[in-house]
Amino acid sequence: MNVGITVNGEQHEHDVEPRTLLVHYLREQLGLTGTNVGCDTTSCGACTVHLDGESVKSCTVLAAQADGCEVTTIEGLAAGPQLHPMQLAFREHHGLQCGFCTPGMVMAAVSLLREHPAPTEDEVRHGLEGNLCRCTGYHNIVKAILAASGQGTPA
Ligand code: FES
Ligand code: FES
């Protein structure tokens, strides 16, 4: 079936199998491999992207469901060479180690701040419940998100 999806501001038309998952479409058809697959079972959040501005796990969305929609992936977050403030905050506060969860974590964090521009630490932790990280213990991720929200960071 034919799907038309705007990804990172660019319109794409492709013939896809009806069962194609959005994450596989992004990675395999468009070569946008920043969106990772960690579990394929809606558990880890490594595949998080924005679909019409909402954070979604792209392993649970069919490419066909995104027909006519706008998708933003981690590759589309920066403005050219200028990193997004959330990416800068993750870098500054060491919110990553191996980096596998990071694209999904950053996309979820951007969406979290859109909904809650000044979250508490608890709200950040709660907002990240769908995104797993095996490396960092989350502390620096939470710090980065609070810093990106313009609030002081916990010790
Ligand atoms: S790969 Fe989508 S939630 Fe883990
Ligand atoms: S930085 Fe390794 S899984 Fe999060």
Q: What is the mean pLDDT of each run of 10 residues along the chain (155 residues)?
A: 97 97 98 95 96 97 98 95 96 97 98 96 96 96 96 57
Question: Which pLDDT belongs to residue 151?
Answer: 76
136-143's contacts with Cβ under 8 Å and 24+ in sequence apart are: 136/94, 136/95, 136/96, 136/97, 140/93, 140/94, 140/95, 140/96, 141/90, 141/95, 141/96, 141/105, 141/109, 143/93, 143/95
Question: Which pLDDT belongs to residue 6?
Answer: 98
> Which residues, 6 or more positions from 28, have their beta carbon under 8 angstroms from its beta carbon?
none
Candidates 119, 114, 105, 107; CA nearest to 147 is 119
Question: Which pLDDT belongs to residue 152?
Answer: 59
- Closest ligand 1 atom, residue 43 Cα: 3
Residues at CB less than 6 angstroms from ligand 1: 37-40, 42-47, 57, 59
Question: Which pLDDT belongs to residue 79?
Answer: 86
Candidates 79, 148, 89, 143; CA nearest to 116 is 148
pTM score of the predicted model: 0.95
- Which of the listed residues 48, 74, 135 should we mutate to test ligand 2's pocket, taking the one with most ligand atoms within 8 A of CB? 135
Ligand nearest the Cα of residue 100 is 2
